[in-house]
Amino acid sequence: MGALPGVRVLACVLALMGAASPAAAQREVPAPEGWAALQDGDAAKAASIFRQELERRPGDPYLYFGAGWAAYVLGRQDAAISALKKAVEIEPRFPQALAMLGEVAYAAGDIDLAIRSLEKAVKLSPRDRRLAQQLERWRSESAVHESLAEKTGVRFRILYEGGTQQALGDRVSRVLENAYWTIGKTLNSYPSETLTVILYTDRQFQDITRSPAWAGGGYDGRIRLAVGGALKSPASLDRVVVHELVHAIVANTAPRNIPGWLHEGLASYLESNDHAWSRAVIRRSGTVYPLEELTDGFGGLDRDSALVAYAESEIAAEVLCAMAGPNLGVFLQMVGNGDPLDQALLAIRVQPDAFRAEWGKRIGLR
């Protein structure tokens, strides 16, 4: 998932209230405490304020906008989409709600709704270059997808270039079906929604995901794989496929609050049975990052630093899996619900100090 909304919320709302119409300029911001809560990062409180306020003023599009925003931050995409649809149904000239509806629909994998909403937003805000560029990117992504063949099963919908990628598509499908059960068992989570998996050429992958050049795959609500160069070897393709599936299943269990090192660590640890590489990377590297510095994704790191970050996260996940055993799923749910990491560890009877000490020992800290 990209950067979540939530910063500068109030400034944005004040701007939109002023910009909407001369009449709106005199309006007060509805439920200011709700927006303040969003700005403070307390989306649950914001959601409850907007819900209460909507009972008193069920026709207010700004309240639906706030409710949709809060639901999105909470990872409740369906609720966010229905609140934002309501906002733009009541007030069709509401570019911010249309843009956010586009963003949530895109995150939920509904690119048609995303494009339709953003087209309307761009019409209403023709000078917003960021919106126009976003629309352009989504249109070209959609055009790429329309040119692809599709293999749809119960759990996975795989898009690939018919002909040249037929064998790859079949292989990816087999790997996913097998891994679904083993990873599901480890994480105690079996997503029921169909997951979209798209095979790209390396060039398409870079264009669409804007990932660093070292990335071979990504997950943002769908699994995207670059199958051109780096993943030509079947073994490395299988690893990346499983790696991204772990991200998808973790995100299904805990749509937010999972620190980067935990997401990447679990994905790297569960992607294969080969765990020697992380030791080798740590031995070669002079630096180790504290896990607390690895709470965001690794997309901003260069190739070498990213490798170290993956290696130490992988070792942390290995320690965690051994200590948590069958309670790993419960632990992830707790962290996903916003419980502090140490509290979630204690709840599954893992001493946080013991976890950190074992991790430190395995990466060679003294």
**Residues of this chain that bind Zn ion (CB under 5 A):** 264, 267
Residue (77 or 313) nearer to Zn ion, CB: 313
- Closer residue to Zn ion, CB minimum distance, 159 or 267: 267
Nearer of residues 76 and 247 to Zn ion, judged by Cβ: 247
For residue 234, the minimal CB distance to Zn ion (Å) is 20
- Indicate the pairing of strand 223-226 with strand 195-200: parallel
**192 DSSP 8-state letter:** -
Which residue, 161 or 264, has its beta carbon nearer to Zn ion? 264
Distances in Å between the Cα of 78 and the Cα atoms of 68, 81, 88, 305 are 9, 5, 16, 37
Rounded to the nearest whole angstrom, what is the least distance from the CB of residue 34 to Zn ion in the complex? 34
Nearest to 16 by CA among 113, 154, 128: 128
- Residue in 61, 14, 20 with CA at minimum distance from that of residue 36: 14
How many angstroms separate the most distant Cα atoms in the chain? 66
Least spacing, CB of residue 244 vs Zn ion, in Å? 7
Class of residue 13 by CB neighbours under 10 A (exposed 0-12, middle 13-18, buried 19+):
buried
Please give the single-letter amino acid code of residue 190.
Y
The residue among 264 and 358 lying less far from Zn ion, judged by its C-beta, is 264
Q: How far is the CB of 310 from Zn ion (least distance, A)?
A: 8
Closest contact distance (angstroms) between CB of 267 and Zn ion is 4
> What is the CA 92 to chain-centroid distance, rounded?
29
CB of 243 to Zn ion, least distance (A): 6
Query: Closer CB to Zn ion, residue 267 or residue 311?
Result: 267
CA distances, 174 to each of 89, 123, 149, 167, 250 (Å): 43, 44, 17, 11, 20
Closest contact distance (angstroms) between CB of 298 and Zn ion is 8
Other C-beta atoms within 10 Å of 29: how many?
Answer: 15
| Interior angle at CA 80, CA 11 and CA 344, nearest 5 | 90
Residue with Cβ nearer Zn ion (75 or 216): 216
Q: Which residue's Cβ has the minimum distance to Zn ion?
A: 267
**Separation CA 280–CA 134 (nearest Å):** 41
Nearest C-alpha neighbor of 183 from the set 139, 223, 143, 126? 223
Q: Which residues of 126-144 are buried (b: 16+ CB within 10 A; e: fewer)?
A: eeeeebeebbeebeebeeb
CB of 247 to Zn ion, least distance (A): 6
Nearer to Zn ion, 86 or 263 (CB): 263
Closer residue to Zn ion, CB minimum distance, 267 or 328: 267
Q: How far is it, in rounded angstroms, from Cα 219 to Cα 209?
A: 10
CA 167/CA 149 separation, integer angstroms: 12
Q: Measured from the CB of residue 264, what is the shortest distance to Zn ion in angstroms?
A: 5
